[in-house]
Amino acid sequence: MTDVLPAGSLAGKVALVTGSSRGIGADTVRYFAEAGADVVINFRNKAPRAEKLASQLREHGVRALVVGADLTDPASVGSMFEQVSAEFGRLDILVLNASGGMESGMAEDYALTLNRDAQLNVLNAARPLLADGSRVVFVTSHQAHFIRTTPTMPEYEPVALSKRAGEDALRELIPSLEEEGIGFTVVSGDMIEGTITATLLERANPGAISARREDAGRLYNVSEFAAEVAKAALDAVPADNTRLVGDTSGFVAE
Ligand SMILES: NC(=O)c1ccc[n+]([C@@H]2O[C@H](COP(=O)([O-])OP(=O)(O)OC[C@H]3O[C@@H](n4cnc5c(N)ncnc54)[C@H](OP(=O)(O)O)[C@@H]3O)[C@@H](O)[C@H]2O)c1
């Protein structure tokens, strides 16, 4: 996993990726560290994984702070940014990657609580640390981004609707973010090979992922999609604040 971002391009910068102990978040934070950024690894449950990743990233000569925080708990989010402030005093890149809503045993509105309310709260709590020139990236799926025009699998629909509600709520902040020189980009991708979400959806709808792979030509894997998320934090913000990754055939634009 090298050369996704130019070497040294993030030296002196600080990047936080929510939900970065594993999966797409872990690979994204790794790309930032490889480019020289000091990083904040946020986890909810997977503390040992987060600590192991931090030790690997420190071998690149960067600092890595590990912070456990349930993003649906405002006190936990407040404490996370207090720790970031104490350790680094600033934040240059915030990636809103953590997501959920298909877990069993959660409250009925959990998907909205995590994918909309918590995203807004995390961004608002981070704002005092985000200076002119900093960047915010919100990670989503095509199945969520296009949910208003393109139906998805029933098991994923509540997640898709909640993620789109989160995206819309964050987009409302764009004018005030721009006023402060903070760039905001939504990165949307198709189903990703090898993720728990794709596995769960395939189990509920046998053949669905292979059918999508066939329609799209190919599906990205975790490290390929994470590379797009990482690049979105450095590349110019697109005019419509949206970076669509891979094939979008079958998804209807609004
Ligand atoms: N999977 C796909 O096919 C796909 C496709 C396109 C876009 N995406 C997007 O990519 C992003 C990452 O997806 P993924 O598949 O890597 O997700 P994932 O495997 O479900 O991982 C979610 C991450 O979020 C964290 N998290 C969940 N609930 C949390 C909470 N309440 N507080 C703090 N952290 C929490 C988890 O932390 P713990 O492990 O510590 O619990 C985990 O690190 C999401 O925004 C998703 O919509 C995914």
* Domains in the chain: ranges and CATH: 14-245 (3.40.50.720)
How many angstroms is it from 60 CA to the middle of ligand 1? 25
Any atom of ligand 1 within 6 Å of the Cβ of 45 = yes
pLDDT at 3: 83
Q: Distance from the CA of 172 to the center of ligand 1, in angstroms?
A: 23
Backbone phi and psi for residue 90, each to the nearest 5 degrees, phi listed first: -165, 170
Q: Is 100 in the pocket of ligand 1 (CB under 6 A)?
A: yes
What pLDDT does 254 receive?
Answer: 86
Cα 22 to Cα 20: distance, rounded to the nearest angstrom: 5
Cβ partners under 8 Å of residue 165, min gap 6:
112, 115, 116
25-42, pLDDT tens digit by residue? 999 999 999 999 999 999
Strand partners, 94: 16, 136
Nearest-atom index, ligand 1, CA of 26: 43
Q: CA nearest 159: which of 216, 198, 122? A: 198
Q: What is the pLDDT of residue 2?
A: 57
Ligand 1 contact, 13 CB (< 6 A): no
Going by C-alpha positions, the residue among 14, 59, 58, 71 that lies closest to residue 40 is 14
Is the CB of residue 198 below 6 angstroms from any atom belonging to ligand 1?
Answer: yes
CA of 96 to the centre of ligand 1 (A): 10
Tens of pLDDT along the chain (254 residues) come to 558 999 999 999 999 999 999 999 999 999 999 999 999 999 999 899 999 999 999 999 999 999 999 999 999 999 999 999 999 999 999 999 999 999 989 999 999 999 999 999 999 999 999 999 999 999 999 999 999 999 999 999 999 999 999 999 999 999 999 999 999 999 999 999 999 999 999 999 999 899 999 999 999 999 999 999 999 999 999 999 999 999 899 999 98
